[in-house]
Structure 1
Amino acid sequence: MNFSAGEMVDNCSDSTGAGNCTWAEPTGLVPSYPDITGWLQFSITTQFLLIFVIFFTNATVLVLVAYFKTLQNLENSFIVSMAVADGLLSVALIPGVDITLNPTRASNKYACLLLWCSIMFSSTASAFSLLALSLDRYLKIVYPLHHYMTSAWACGILAFVWSYTFITTFLLPFVGVNGIKDQSFVCFDFKDVFNIAHLQFQCYVNGLAPFLVMFVMYGKILAVVWEKLRAESDQIPAGAEGEEAGRGKKWLRRELKVIKKLTMVLGTTAAAWIPTTCMLLRQIYDPTYYPTFQTRVILSTLTYMNSAVNPLLYSLRLRPFREALSKICCRRCQGPTAVHPSGGSSTDPA
């Protein structure tokens, strides 16, 4: 669950004629936030930067997959799905920045729903695409001799992810499952905008559940990797030399990289999603609690940054993607021709 940085409704007015401008609470439900000018500027600047960073990193992944046929495989289909979802978040942030700069537009019911539903849709699609990618890796590591994930299964899973996400996060609020009863709603108060039962469903089923499932799968993966490491070390005698020992050390390094990557997966996902979800759950169950503007800015920034770093963790760190990216960069640096060691030159076919 994400929050826009624009948490305030603009009640800024110059009542003294001396240019003094103050922020007042729009309703009795939302407390006033004194002296937030610096945080508001930080929020707007951060959102502008994230729009470009999120779009650029995820667009890079999509361009590489479209340009190189070697990257168009089953596993990368889940990476593409996650890149599309994260890229859509950069588009969804644009109306968030617009409402931050022009808060009066937040009084429109459908504009408010479009803002939050777009962010929820892209974030949830990204989370479930990551879950599908994790499932694919789980099956490959835990059941390496079986081929559970086929092209048909992958297409079916992705079709379900996008259709389910669209219905639960976008369609339902627009057909009436929302909390907006009249024109006095507060767009930046989720309990005013969304139906409480639907909001709980989003937190538990679309928020915490995917993370818990991934936690269980990665725990099983780590257990399998650890057992393989122990078995490999027992098979290689102490002081062994030659090709067998070299293969064992190479395999050991590869598996240790897997453990490191899985730790990064859990760490970044937990840091991005759990604090924000817990804050929202507390706000749902505790009517007296309302998070400060600073808290929302920090947590929303962490959540949005997850969409920016996802390509770096799940695609651009992979060797095929790095090699494809280096080929494009080398071609741009060297130009259309490349000089061969013999001294001749020819058009670079890569």
Structure 2
Amino acid sequence: MDGYDNWTLISENVSSSSTQPNPNSTHNNNSVAAALMPFNVFTLVVYISVFIVGLLGNTLVIYVVIRYTKMKTVTNLYILNLALADELYILGIPFLGTNSVLSYWPYGDLFCKVYMTADAMSQFSSTFCLTVMSIDRYLAVVHPIRSVKWRKPQVAKIFNGVVWVVSFLIVLPVTIYSHVQEEVNACNITWPEPHKFCSIVFILYTSILGFFGPLVVICLCYLLIVIKVRSAGVRAGRTKRRKSERKVTRMVVIIVLVFVLCWLPFFTTNIVNLVHIIPKNNTNVTVYFFLVILTYVNSCANPILYAFLSDNFRQSFQKVLCVHKPNGVGTASQMGGRNTAYKENHIPVLPTRNPTQNGKMQSIQVLCKQY
């Protein structure tokens, strides 16, 4: 998101270390560059930290969902798609950091288009993934029987593909008009005439389709879920399945809330900037830098949220990272499974690193990590 909204919001007014200079104002470019100089080292440290945490965390999420059969639930497949979008967004940090340090774009025109397109697509895909996950939660809670045919892994994979196709179509203007501006050697969007009108339209276009519109759908889904849960709570009681659905719904809600908290300031600033021109000064540059960093923090936070909110993700992460359980700790199902195997086969059964029973992964002695 940083890649394309930086240019819309701040290419005209406010700038950050990741924001491209305004080719229409050499004086302003120099002022912004001077303002950013004290933050170069700090910016680099922050970018590197966010890049490492985000890359490792989302790679871990992608791996455990693909690796373990028990993780291939409908919700987890949507989470996989969200992790892919977060990973793509995080992968833009090295190029963004290089541009910040050098104060120019060194990678050429073709890669400028690739970078801008991938950056924009990753943001739209993240938003659409969260929207689809919220709709899935609505179907699971409000229409658990009728939605069975739609809540299947095969269908989830199709919707994941649709998310990327729609995201690409929406960001086509970015692909078409992005290039290296020769005047300032910056990777940016150059709109056709009238420049200002196109820039305003694009800000509204991306803000509505990429954030505020999906946010309305998400809020509506959870409003209907709350109404359903409150009306059915007294009658139905708390079955094991209902408890499981509530835990999954809670996880998705928290993920959505963190996303909103990380992105709302950025989009709000974009919209405010259309009404009131934000002046370029040291304070605004610093504030905008933190708004941009906050969007990257969201991509880092998701794997951590999965680890705290999902037992399956936590156990899978522990297994991958080879985190040992405390001595003497075991589960009843694990012991029962081994005793049964001994009685039926009359042979010693040695502990294995990957025991399974009835197609489900059991708790094991060597576990690993998160999302």
- Shifted more, 154-163 versus 81-90: the winner is 154-163
Distance in 2 between residues matched to 1:151 and 1:320, nearest whole Å:
17
Corresponding residue of 1:130: 130
The answer as to whether partners of 1:61 and 1:316 remain within 8 angstroms in 2 is no
Superposition deviation, residue 249 in structure 1: 9.5
Superposition deviation, residue 277 in structure 1: 0.8
SS in 2 for 1:32: helix
- The one-letter code sitting in structure 1 at the alignment partner of 2:61 is V
Deviations 1:115-158 (A, max 9, x none): 43332221221121121112111110111122233345323322
Deviations 1:208-238 (A, max 9, x none): 2112211111121122222233445xxxxxx
2:74 is the alignment partner of 1:74: yes
Corresponding residue of 2:364: none
Using a 3 Å threshold, how does the CA distance of structure 1 residues 182 and 190 change in structure 2: closer, same or farther?
closer
Deviations 1:243-294 (A, max 9, x none): xxxx759899778756754653343122111110121223344456557210
Distance in 2 between residues matched to 1:309 and 1:301, nearest whole Å:
12
Alignment of 1:279-290 (within 5 A): 279-287=269-277, 289-290=279-280
- Shifted more, 199-208 versus 256-265: the winner is 256-265
TM-score (norm 1): 0.74
2:222 is the alignment partner of 1:218: yes
Distance in 1 between residues matched to 2:314 and 2:78, nearest whole Å:
18
Deviations 1:164-212 (A, max 9, x none): 112322x432334x5x796336848878799423332111111221122
Deviations 1:92-114 (A, max 9, x none): 11100111111122796555444
- The one-letter code sitting in structure 1 at the alignment partner of 2:123 is S
2:162 to 141, 155, 160: 160
The answer as to whether partners of 2:116 and 2:174 remain within 8 angstroms in 1 is no
Alignment of 1:72-221 (within 5 A): 72-105=72-105, 110=110, 112-146=112-146, 147=148, 148-169=150-171, 171-176=172-177, 183-184=182-183, 187=186, 195-196=198-199, 197-221=201-225
Distance in 2 between residues matched to 1:174 and 1:29, nearest whole Å:
27
SS in 2 for 1:175: helix
Using a 3 Å threshold, how does the CA distance of structure 1 residues 346 and 156 change in structure 2: closer, same or farther?
closer
Distance in 1 between residues matched to 2:252 and 2:107, nearest whole Å:
43
Distance in 2 between residues matched to 1:68 and 1:141, nearest whole Å:
26
Distance in 2 between residues matched to 1:256 and 1:48, nearest whole Å:
36
Distance in 2 between residues matched to 1:107 and 1:282, nearest whole Å:
32
- Equivalent pairs counted in the alignment come to 314
Distance in 2 between residues matched to 1:150 and 1:218, nearest whole Å:
21
SS in 2 for 1:348: coil
- The one-letter code sitting in structure 2 at the alignment partner of 1:209 is G
Corresponding residue of 1:321: 313
TM-score (norm 2): 0.70
- Shifted more, 125-134 versus 250-259: the winner is 250-259
Distance in 2 between residues matched to 1:285 and 1:92, nearest whole Å:
30
Please, which runs of 5 or more residues in structure 2 have no aligned partner? 7-15, 340-347, 355-371
The answer as to whether partners of 2:86 and 2:122 remain within 8 angstroms in 1 is yes
Distance in 2 between residues matched to 1:328 and 1:153, nearest whole Å:
28
Using a 3 Å threshold, how does the CA distance of structure 1 residues 216 and 162 change in structure 2: closer, same or farther?
same
- The one-letter code sitting in structure 2 at the alignment partner of 1:32 is S
CA RMSD of aligned residues (A): 3.9
- The one-letter code sitting in structure 2 at the alignment partner of 1:270 is V
